[in-house]
Amino acid sequence: MLLCLILFGMVQLVLMQTAAEINQYAADASVRARTVGFNPFMVYKVNRVASIANAGRMVTPDAIPAGDADLWNQQTAGEAFRTAIRSNPRSRQFREIEQWTIPLYLGAQNHALLPGILEYADWDEVSAPIYTGSPGRTVGVRTRQNFRLRMPFWRAFSSRDHIRLDAEARLADHSDLYLDR
């Protein structure tokens, strides 16, 4: 029992470190998007897409477009996703689902369209980017995420079911070079 507790504790620590790196990547991607002049809605979408690896299981899409029916053998996206995960999480089916939904997600015109295009179970735990820095000089983005603890025996290490991950990235403000004002 003690050996299992130690093993699961070490695995949970590795998962938390990986999640922190992914959260930092989301902050880096968001600040790059903001630096070149993307609007706050686009930065929000970039932040969420960059944090997909921490977002849990895919909830949406739940239907396959008619043109892709041959590729998916008449399965819904959810069924294809579950089949891909059971057989091989790095399978072609798994990659293809995100390949056609991420560009649609990034191209969405408003918040109301986003959940129908792409949604993950834990995206509610990813906060919108918080802007820091001084206008005209630096752009800063802070990201936060509540990362759920899922390994067995996690209660031996924490009374909460999640840890809060914070990351911040800063870059020089180059938006004037890219935008005509």
- Give pLDDT, residue 16: 92
Question: Across residues 37-45, what is the average pLDDT?
Answer: 93
Residue 68 in tokens: 């892709």
Mean pLDDT score of the chain: 81
Q: Is the pLDDT of residue 68 over 70?
A: no
CA atoms within 13 A on the CB side of 5: 6
Question: Across residues 141-170, what is the average pLDDT?
Answer: 87
Q: How far apart are CA 17 and CA 27, in angstroms?
A: 15
Q: Is the pLDDT of residue 40 over 90?
A: yes
Q: Is the pLDDT of residue 166 over 90?
A: yes
- Give pLDDT, residue 92: 58
Kindly state the percentage of the chain with pLDDT values over 90. 37
Task: Dump strand ranges (E) for 80-161.
Answer: 119-120, 130-132, 138-148
- Give pLDDT, residue 62: 58
- Give pLDDT, residue 44: 95
**Could you tell me which residue, 68 or 155, shows the higher pLDDT?**
155
Residues in contact with 58: Cβ distance below 8 Å, sequence separation at least 6, in sequence order: 77, 78, 81, 97, 98, 118, 119, 120, 121
pTM: 0.77
The structure tokens 């293809």 sit at: 96
Confidence of residue 64 (pLDDT cuts 50, 70, 90): very low
Residue 111 in tokens: 């918040």
Confidence of residue 78 (pLDDT cuts 50, 70, 90): low
